[in-house]
């Protein structure tokens, strides 16, 4: 009995945890398809694809993507090279020095990104001045500084990935190649590099993603070349629109797609390695293609692809204009009703107020907190929906009697 209780609580905890983790992303993605110009999920108004259109017409976003790709490519090359060099050196350095060397090259991960950005900026500014370069030269170029600043800590990530693989490398392979007359460069290119290639590939992907999403360091170094993340931050800080949600949705979809593709690939290899007999016996009439059988990630991948194609197909033909017009009409109707209610309420109240002006004072002054004034008392609303915000500010202010009381 106790065990099952534990089980249930574990699952509840997992569900809550993943809701906290994934919920925000799901909600953000959904807001990309809702028509209000402030990203929101409730109330749902119209299904629309206009925000994707707005996104692709945004020059700054497109320019940011271009800069991000340039910076990402530079960072990948520099940090993979430095990470590989450091990983190789780590296996050769004499043991006494190893711990301090390791601490030194792992430290950039722990240094706050802000500090890295500042130190890069200050240092290269000083170097440029010492060399007598005029401001605006290569050393104060935003792309150069950003690549340098990001590589400082991204190289540490690469180093960690590469060291893990390097530990399984058999040094005698290189020695054998050297004995057979290969030069050191040849030995590296023909023996070491092919062995390290998977790790180098994953380090490169990691480096690119880390560079692409970096904000803290880049915000000090970008100069005249804002990356996508910088542009996004500017947009989010000064007014948010569902176009950002649309971009987020694209990124989420791409990430999920890539993750599933990777997972399916791993699973496919595992299945191939398990031998050709697995799953070869037909059990029922419905048989999945070979790639899909026993590979849930691949099935999911295909489903996601189909969904994306359907959504894009719908977006091409679907027009939300009718729905948006409807919603606008409903809103106008509501506003009109609210105005009518306001007017009716004022007319109904006028004679009463003349008799007892003093009793109006508390509700009049209390209107600042509720902002509904005395006018919006429930009976007056008479079944109309909640009035739009623009109307609420007026409260009972229009009553001449209120003015005299407030004095």
Partner 1 sequence: MPRFLTEFFKRNGILMGGLMLGLVLFWTIGLIILPQLSMLDFSFRPNLPPPEMGGPKDVYTLENYHHLIFGPEGASAAYNYIDLGVFFRTIVAAVCITIFNLILCYPIAYYLGQSRGNHVRIFALMLIIPYWINEILRAFALRIIFGQTGVLNTLLVSLGIFDQPYDFIRNDIALYAGLGYAYILLMIFPIYNVIESLDRNQIEAARDMGASWVRIHRRVVIPYAKPGISSGCTMVFMLSAGALAAPQILGGPSSLWFTQIIYQWFNDNSNWPQGAAYAVVLLVTCILLVMAAMRLFKVNMGDIGK
Q: CA 321, CA 171: separation in Å to the nearest integer?
A: 68
Cα angle value 273/274/277 (rounded, 5°): 120
Q: How far apart are the first and last CA of the chain?
A: 71
For the chain, give the longest Cα–Cα distance. Answer: 112
Q: CA 267, CA 279: separation in Å to the nearest integer?
A: 14
Q: Which of residues 4, 59, 92, 284 is near partner 1 by CB under 8 A?
A: 92
Is-contact 149 116, C-beta < 8 A? Answer: yes
Q: CA 157, CA 312: separation in Å to the nearest integer?
A: 37
Q: Which of residues 7, 8, 18, 319 is near partner 1 by CB under 8 A?
A: 18
Both tokens of residue 159?
A: 């180093």
Give yes or no for residue 23 binding partner 1 (CB under 8 A).
yes
Is-contact 252 25, C-beta < 8 A? Answer: yes
Give yes or no for residue 136 binding partner 1 (CB under 8 A).
no
> Least Å distance between CB 182 and partner 1?
10
Q: 347: buried, middle or exposed (CB in 10 Å: 19+, 13-18, 0-12)?
A: exposed
- Tokens 């999911």 locate to 300
Enter the DSSP assignment of 189: I
Sequential DSSP letters for 99-137: HHHHHHHHHHHHS-HHHHHHHHHHHHHHHHHHTTPPTTS
**Binding positions for partner 1, 144-163, rule CB under 8 A:** 148, 151-152, 155-156, 160
Q: CA 382, CA 384: separation in Å to the nearest integer?
A: 6
Q: Which of residues 183, 307, 314, 359 is near partner 1 by CB under 8 A?
A: 183
Cis amide prior to 383 (ω within 30 degrees): no
Nearer to partner 1, 212 or 225 (CB): 212
Q: Which of residues 232, 264, 301, 342 is near partner 1 by CB under 8 A?
A: 232
> Least Å distance between CB 146 and partner 1?
13
Q: Which of residues 213, 268, 293, 304 is near partner 1 by CB under 8 A?
A: 213
Nearer to partner 1, 237 or 283 (CB): 237
Q: Which of residues 54, 77, 251, 311 is near partner 1 by CB under 8 A?
A: 251
Q: 88: which residues sit within 8 A by CB, 6+ positions away?
A: 166
Nearer to partner 1, 271 or 402 (CB): 271
Q: CA 361, CA 359: separation in Å to the nearest integer?
A: 6
Q: Which of residues 3, 4, 5, 94 is near partner 1 by CB under 8 A?
A: 94
Give yes or no for residue 215 binding partner 1 (CB under 8 A).
yes
- Tokens 């130190």 locate to 119
> Least Å distance between CB 176 and partner 1?
15
Among 46, 14, 12, 17, smallest CA distance to 32 is for 46
Q: Report H helices in 283-320.
A: 296-317
Give yes or no for residue 216 binding partner 1 (CB under 8 A).
yes
| Listed ranges 55-63, 211-219, 306-314, 372-380: which one lies at the site for partner 1 (CB under 8 A) | 211-219
Q: Which of residues 77, 89, 302, 323 is near partner 1 by CB under 8 A?
A: 89
Give yes or no for residue 385 binding partner 1 (CB under 8 A).
no
Q: Which of residues 85, 201, 278, 356 is near partner 1 by CB under 8 A?
A: 85
- Tokens 């359907």 locate to 310
Q: CA 50, CA 56: separation in Å to the nearest integer?
A: 10
Both tokens of residue 59?
A: 């020059």
> Least Å distance between CB 53 and partner 1?
19
Nearer to partner 1, 270 or 356 (CB): 270
Q: Which of residues 4, 95, 168, 185 is near partner 1 by CB under 8 A?
A: 185
> Least Å distance between CB 378 and partner 1?
14
Is-contact 158 189, C-beta < 8 A? Answer: no
> Least Å distance between CB 260 and partner 1?
8
Give yes or no for residue 362 binding partner 1 (CB under 8 A).
no
Q: Which of residues 15, 138, 236, 397 is near partner 1 by CB under 8 A?
A: 236
Q: Count residues binding partner 1 (CB under 8 A).
A: 89
| Listed ranges 50-58, 179-187, 271-279, 303-311: which one lies at the site for partner 1 (CB under 8 A) | 179-187
Q: Which of residues 37, 91, 167, 255 is near partner 1 by CB under 8 A?
A: 255
Binding pattern to partner 1, positions 101-130, x when CB under 8 A? -xxxxxxxxxxxxxxx-xxxxxxx-x--x-
> Least Å distance between CB 384 and partner 1?
19
Q: CA 321, CA 48: separation in Å to the nearest integer?
A: 9
> Least Å distance between CB 202 and partner 1?
13
């Amino acid at each position: 009995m106790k065990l099952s209780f534990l089980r249930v609580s574990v699952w509840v905890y997992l569900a809550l945890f993943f809701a906290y983790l994934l919920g925000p992303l799901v909600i953000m993605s959904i807001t990309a398809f809702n028509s209000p110009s402030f990203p929101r999920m409730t109330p749902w108004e119209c299904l629309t694809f206009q925000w994707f259109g707005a996104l692709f017409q945004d020059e700054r976003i497109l320019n940011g993507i271009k800069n991000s790709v340039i910076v990402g490519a530079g960072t990948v090359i520099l940090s993979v090279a430095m990470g590989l060099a450091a990983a190789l050196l780590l296996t050769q350095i004499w043991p006494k020095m190893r711990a301090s060397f390791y601490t030194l090259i792992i430290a950039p991960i722990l240094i706050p990104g802000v500090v890295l950005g500042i130190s890069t900026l200050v240092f290269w500014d000083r170097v440029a001045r010492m060399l007598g370069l005029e401001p605006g030269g290569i050393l104060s170029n935003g792309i150069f500084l950003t690549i340098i600043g990001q590589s400082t800590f991204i190289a540490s990530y690469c180093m960690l990935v590469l060291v893990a693989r390097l530990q399984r490398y058999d040094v005698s392979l290189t020695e054998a190649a050297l004995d057979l007359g290969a030069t050191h460069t040849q030995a590296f290119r023909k023996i070491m590099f092919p062995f390290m290639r998977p790790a180098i590939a994953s380090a490169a992907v990691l480096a690119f993603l880390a560079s692409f999403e970096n904000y803290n360091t880049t915000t000090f170094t970008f100069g005249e070349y804002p990356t996508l993340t910088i542009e996004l931050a500017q947009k989010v800080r000064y007014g948010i629109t569902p176009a950002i949600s649309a971009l987020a949705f694209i990124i989420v979809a791409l990430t999920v797609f890539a993750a599933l593709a990777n997972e399916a690939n791993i699973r496919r290899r595992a299945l191939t390695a398990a031998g050709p007999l697995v799953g070869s016996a037909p059990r029922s009439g419905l048989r999945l293609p070979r790639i899909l059988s026993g590979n849930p990630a691949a099935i999911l991948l295909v489903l996601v692809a189909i969904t994306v194609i359907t959504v894009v197909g719908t977006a091409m033909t679907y027009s939300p204009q009718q729905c948006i017009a409807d919603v606008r009409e409903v809103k106008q109707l509501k506003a009109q009703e609210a105005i009518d209610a306001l007017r009716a309420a004022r007319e109904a109240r006028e004679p009463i107020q003349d008799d007892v002006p003093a009793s109006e004072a508390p509700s009049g002054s209390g209107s600042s907190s509720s902002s509904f004034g005395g006018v919006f008392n429930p009976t007056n609303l008479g079944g109309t929906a909640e009035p739009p915000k623009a109307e609420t500010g007026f409260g009972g202010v229009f009553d001449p009697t209120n003015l005299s009381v407030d004095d």
